[in-house]
Chain A
Amino acid sequence: MAEGMTWSVTDGDKLTQAEVYGEVLSQLGDTYPDLVALTADLASSTKIGRFGKKYPQRFINVGIAENSMFGMAAGLALAGLRPVVSTFAAFASLRSAEQVRTDICYQNLNVKIISTHAGISFGQAGSTHHCTEDIAVMRSFANMTVIVPADGLETGNAVAAAMEWPGPVYIRIGRGFEPPVNKTKDYGYEIGKAITMRDGHDVTIIACGVGVLQAVRAAEVLDRQGLSARVINMHTIKPIDREVIIQAVKDTRRIITVEDHNIMGGLGSAVAEVIVESGKACAFRKLGVPDCYSIVGYPEDLYHFYKFDADGIVGTVSELMRLEIEEDEDWEDEA
């Protein structure tokens, strides 16, 4: 394990993803003397300010100027530093998409972006502050790695792992507290390696971010109904773990994806690409925000409204279970 992977947070399962991130980043500052942190007037909201309190010399608050911040991060990386940038997901992926793409990804620079308030996690704020497009945007940038951690502890693991991962990395987390799915941070987190949270043979739920907890809860309900659901935490959207997806298609023939993102372009689309390219048929549904600008409300109410909470997943599984799936005797023979 790389030295940078060493971090510890007290009561990490009781903190928001951003709180764990801020704490872990400030610990990584010791390991990486070249780490320099940037934000655009969101030091406290994104928690990157904790690094700034510890290392004021290596902390730059540019004011409300995201585009210059990402350009500046590119320059800092060109000067041999290791910039970490935090702002809201909407600004990182939409306002500054060109700087992220042209200044950072095109030059394959070592810039790590940790965006907060992703998806509809800041539900009350309205669509200007929602971001249900960032996974789609970021995964379309060559050289970019895209990670959606499931909870606070996984956020810590992802941030630490990103420091040792070459090139640009985009990590998107939510705003407030979401109950954790992991009890400990020591479960062998690796970028690009999906985690099977629970095995099952009737259906596979592939989720990321807050969707993972909802999927785990749904699987518990389904279990009581006599259905066996596999739950996969697909924390890395790019590069995606193809083997786990194809194995799930083979084993369960029913796949549901769950994400706090537009159902177009995000995790669901990434999984669909793998399935279609595999040549293997399966029943498939994408859960998330159904290609609309979200209504306003508390996040947990919105997850329910858009049917990507546990109830919604259970309902979709029931629907899939009613479909006739033909047995496939010649699985290995197909293209």
Chain B
Amino acid sequence: MPLTQEEIKGLTKKAWEIRKAIVETTFTCGGSHIGGSLSQTDVLVALYYKYLTIDPARPDWEDRDRFILSKGHGGIGWASVLGDKGYFDKALLKNFNKTGSPFGMHLDSLKVKGCDASTGSLGHGLAIAVGLAVGARLTKRNFRTYVMMGDGELCEGTVWEAAILAGHHKLDNLTAFIDRNNLMIDGLTEQITTLEPIDAKFKAFGWETLTIDGHDFAAIGEAVEKARASKGKPFVIICRTVKGKCVDLMEGQAQWHYGGLNSDLRDQALTCIDKYYAELLG
């Protein structure tokens, strides 16, 4: 069923809050992977506030859907969502990056409730997700496994090993997202090493594919519904996104892969985000 206008409005407001939380935490923690955290936000919000079957009070519930952030550097964005969902007291995010804090830039599954797998080294998440999806089948559980990869991450050969496996095992309980923001640390992906055609590559490996606007909740919702209905094939949703989304000075800027904010930049970023959503919500 498509998302209602009311639901889209609710998710939009939530994404607004999360983006502001990312900026605030980036300010307090001294530096974070803010660009990619802002590009992935809408997909994470759609999943955590609408589609995932989860219970933050029972983070180890065996039948919960699993989510793996294979682009683990988006940890500050993921933690902002998990804290808001109530997996932990979000006031703890004030200690993000601080000595002894459970929260480093790349989330640790043994320390952060709701983090289904430790990630950070690129190219690992899809294979872990394949293991979870096969595990669900072997244990006769109905949970679904979702994994989000960065686009630059697709350079890693292990992604394609795991993609072959997912296709071979016809893992229709597995959905992958590609946060296609076109940038890696050193610049444009297509200038550094050609990734396109991403959809044709996955198709050739036995996947269903769909390319959407990764900031459009209606499109994200429709894609997730299609992925859930897929039979006999894993499903990849290629999300066209903007690195640094909603913050003018960061949008499409490779140097905002990672950065710190002083109070001026923070205020500027928050103003940008508020302006964007005020216009969007009318």
- Interface on A for B, CB 8 Å cutoff? 34, 36, 57-58, 60, 62-63, 65, 67-81, 83, 98-99, 102-103, 106-108
Contacts and interface: CB of A to CB of B under 8 A. Distances in A.
B154 interface: no
Contacts of A69: 127
Given A74-B127, A75-B131, 8 more contacts: A63-B164, A75-B129, A75-B132, A78-B66, A78-B116, A79-B138, A103-B124, A106-B108
21 contacts: A68-B162, A68-B165, A72-B130, A72-B134, A72-B162, A73-B131, A75-B128, A75-B130, A76-B131, A76-B134, A76-B138, A77-B131, A78-B117, A79-B138, A80-B139, A98-B124, A99-B127, A102-B118, A102-B124, A106-B108, A107-B118
A177 B144 CA distance: 45
A71 B132 CA distance: 10
Interface of B: 62, 66, 108-110, 116-118, 120-121, 124, 126-136, 138-139, 141, 145, 157-158, 161-162, 164-165
A102 B133 CA distance: 20
Given A65-B165, A102-B118, A102-B121, A71 B109 contact: no
Nearest to A83: B131
B193 to A, nearest CB: 19
Nearest to A40: B161
Given A63-B164, A103-B128, A68 B118 contact: no
Contacts of A73: 131
A67 B127 contact: yes
Contacts of A108: 110
A79 B139 contact: yes
A68 B130 contact: yes
A63 B116 CA distance: 26
A107 B145 CA distance: 18
A107 B110 contact: yes
A106 B134 CA distance: 22
| Most chain B CB atoms below 10 A, which of A60, A77, A78 | A78
A71 B135 CA distance: 13
A108 B110 CA distance: 9
B158 A79 contact: no
A108 B109 CA distance: 10
Contacts of A36: 135, 138
A81 B127 contact: no
